[in-house]
């Protein structure tokens, strides 16, 4: 029978373009469940990102500076291979609404098929963040809406530098 590893390491993967307070809530809660949490930014996504991987990692590092057991990294290729490389047996993902479920189920089952020893664990998004996504934050900001309280202050500052608010 397999036993629990002495040191539980989890990967929290994502695009994080940019990090939101929803991601941060998941990091805060997830970091209490494991010995080490590696927040991993996907490189070479098919999506056209607003921020480079380095910029996203910088914003993440600033945001998680207060968590002793959280580190920030990036990965290319298969997530499960990165997990194995880092000796992680858990993948942490958040679920906001039913609409997230189908994609998350596909990924979790594919990842399990690729590496059965890596388990995906889901946390429900906090109710205050269940509507929040990086894409919505960028859209609302671009159209002049108020995003304070939705992202860390440093992210809001970088959005101001990067996006010109559209005038009607």
What are the catalytic residues? Answer: 23, 47, 96, 134
CB-nearest residue to ligand PNS? 14
Q: Name, in order, each residue with C-beta under 8 angstroms of 61's C-beta and a sequence gap of 6 or more.
A: 72
81-120: contacts with ligand PNS (CB under 6 A)? 107, 110-111
Q: In the chain, at which residue ranges do the beta strands (DSSP E only) sit?
A: 9-14, 36-42, 70-75, 90-95, 119-124
- Residues facing residue 122 across a β-bridge: 93
Angle at 9 between CA 95 and CA 62, to 5 degrees: 70
Note whether 133 binds ligand PNS by CB under 6 A: no
In the complex, the smallest distance separating the C-beta of residue 1 from ligand PNS, rounded to whole angstroms, is: 28
Residue 28 in 3-state DSSP?
helix
2-31: contacts with ligand PNS (CB under 6 A)? 13-15
The residue from 24, 42, 90, 132 that contacts ligand PNS (CB under 6 A) is: 42
Rg (CA), the chain: 16
In the complex, the smallest distance separating the C-beta of residue 77 from ligand PNS, rounded to whole angstroms, is: 7
CA nearest 69: which of 154, 8, 151?
8
In the complex, the smallest distance separating the C-beta of residue 37 from ligand PNS, rounded to whole angstroms, is: 15
In the complex, the smallest distance separating the C-beta of residue 14 from ligand PNS, rounded to whole angstroms, is: 3
Binding site for ligand PNS (CB under 6 A): 13-15, 42, 78-79, 107, 110-111
């Amino acid at each position: 029978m397999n036993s629990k590893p002495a040191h539980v390491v989890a990967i929290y993967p994502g695009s994080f373009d940019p990090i939101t307070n929803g991601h941060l809530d998941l990091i805060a809660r997830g970091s209490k469940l494991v010995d080490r949490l590696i927040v991993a930014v996907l490189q070479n996504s098919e999506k056209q990102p607003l921020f480079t991987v380095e910029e996203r990692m910088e914003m993440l590092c600033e945001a998680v500076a207060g968590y002793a057991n959280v580190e920030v990294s990036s990965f290319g290729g298969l997530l499960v291979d990165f997990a194995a490389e880092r000796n992680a047996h858990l993948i942490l993902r958040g679920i906001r609404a039913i609409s997230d479920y189908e994609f998350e189920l596909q990924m979790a089952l594919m990842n399990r098929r690729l590496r059965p020893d890596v388990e995906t664990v889901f946390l429900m998004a906090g109710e205050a963040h269940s509507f929040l996504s990086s894409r919505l934050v960028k859209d609302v900001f671009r159209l002049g809406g108020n995003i304070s309280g939705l992202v860390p202050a440093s992210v809001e500052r970088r959005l101001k530098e990067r996006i010109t608010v559209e005038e009607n």
